[in-house]
Amino acid sequence: MIRQQIFGKLSYFMREKREIRKCSEYLKYKNHFLKLNRDELISCFISTKNKYEHQKRVLSVVLATIIFSGLGGVWSMVYDFLVRLISVTGSGANMIDGETAFYGVVVACILFGIIIVFALAAIGLYLSSMKDVHRELLIIEEVRKEKNS
């Protein structure tokens, strides 16, 4: 009994079950769009196409910004900041010992890593959203072809 429950929970991730879920989702979307009249379907197509094209433009701008920042030396400025943080020495009250500088570098690297992880996660979620919109767009195009023929 417990084995069946565990297998049932794990089967959610199996390829066959995913394909079944995708097929049922496809049929649900297709039936929804088949119920729409011609004008509603065209309106839905235009808004979905506009949303997808907007997402593509935004993604292009974000990726171009990341590439140009890499080529433009932003990353070297971050590296220079970390090097300065390590090598900061002063005299008297402004003196920073090696241990404090080391902890500063560790904290800066951890924060920088967290920012990169969140940025990559945001891009991944955005790509997933784009994939869903594109799938919906393809379904609408298929329904339009069926209704026109």
pLDDT in tens, the chain (149 residues): 677 776 666 666 677 888 888 899 999 999 999 999 989 999 999 999 999 999 999 999 998 988 888 777 777 777 777 677 666 654 444 556 667 767 777 887 888 889 889 989 999 999 999 999 999 999 999 999 988 87
pLDDT of 137 reads: 94
pLDDT of 100 reads: 72
CA distance 91 to 134: 61
In Å, how far from its chain's centre is CA 111? Answer: 20
pTM: 0.69
Q: Is 55 helix (H, G, I), strand (E, B) or coil?
A: helix
